[in-house]
Amino acid sequence: MSVLAKSTTFNKLLSFTPSILLFVAVLNEYDLNYLNFKYFSFNFPFILIFYWSLKRSQSLGYGLIFAAGLFNDVVIGYPIGISSLTYLIICGFAAYLRNITLRPSLINDLFFFLFTILVANSINYFLLISLFSIELNYYELMGNIFFTFILYYLFAYIFDIFRKNIFKGKKND
């Protein structure tokens, strides 16, 4: 009986994994920059938010995503609200893709993800440059978009395995 209870608690904890990962990602900003590969960086929160908003939106609430955006702004020193807006735009695009997709395909998702992060980063770039006069390195940004796009495939594959094992039998919305 107690083993059953323990396993239920553990499963419940596992179901919070996307939210926990998102907050760890924004608070820690792990993007392997310290490896010092030229132009190598990627935006893990973008991948996480897009994937879970697309595949299982109830695992990652919009409120949490908004809060994660505020935390990200504080950590990297952006004006308040910029990252929240970017993250929520990604959610919106993912929700749109979910609504129009009849037969899901990773390749379709991947290219729609590319379009999404191009739009989201453009808005982000435009707001920072025009409203707040913050200079950004355009090439670094393009490198970031490229690697985020490439790595989506890998992370989507890992998340797929995780989702199928943890949320099996539970209904998606």
Partner 1 sequence: MSASRDDFIIAIRSAFLKKENKQRFSLVGLIFFSVVLIILSNLNFVAINYIKSGLNEIVYRISFIVSIPEKQLQKSITIINEHVSMYSEYKVMENKIRQLENNNLNSNFLQAENSRLKRLIDEYITESDELVAKVLLDKDSPFLKSIIVNKGSKDKVSLGMAVLDENYLVGKIVEVNYSTSRVLLISDLNSKIPVIIEPGNVQSILSGSGKNHGEIQYFKSSSEISSENVVFTSGSGGIFKAGIPVGKIENVRINKNYVTRFLSNLDQLTFVKLVSYEKESKN
Instruction: Give me the least distance between CB of 78 and partner 1, in Å please.
Output: 8
- Hey, which residues between 104 and 163 contact partner 1 (CB under 8 A)? 127, 131-132, 134-137, 140-141, 143-144
**Contact call for residue 173 and partner 1 (CB under 8 A):** yes
Q: Could you give the string, one character per residue 47-86, with x where binding to partner 1 holds by CB under 8 A and - elsewhere?
A: ----------xx--xxx-xx--xxx--xxxxxxxxx-xx-
Give the nearer residue to partner 1 in terms of CB position, either 78 or 152.
78
**Contact call for residue 96 and partner 1 (CB under 8 A):** yes
> Which window, 9-17, 94-102, 111-119, 156-164, contacts partner 1 (CB under 8 A)?
94-102
> Which window, 10-18, 35-43, 110-118, 151-159, contacts partner 1 (CB under 8 A)?
35-43
8 A C-beta contact, residue 73 and residue 84: yes
Nearest partner of 70 among 102, 26, 127, judged by Cα: 26
Give the nearer residue to partner 1 in terms of CB position, either 47 or 91.
91
Among all chains, which residue has been given the structure tokens 């094992």? 165
Residues near partner 1 (CB under 8 A): 23-24, 27-31, 33-35, 39, 41, 57-58, 61-63, 65-66, 69-71, 74-82, 84-85, 88-89, 91-93, 95-96, 98-100, 127, 131-132, 134-137, 140-141, 143-144, 173
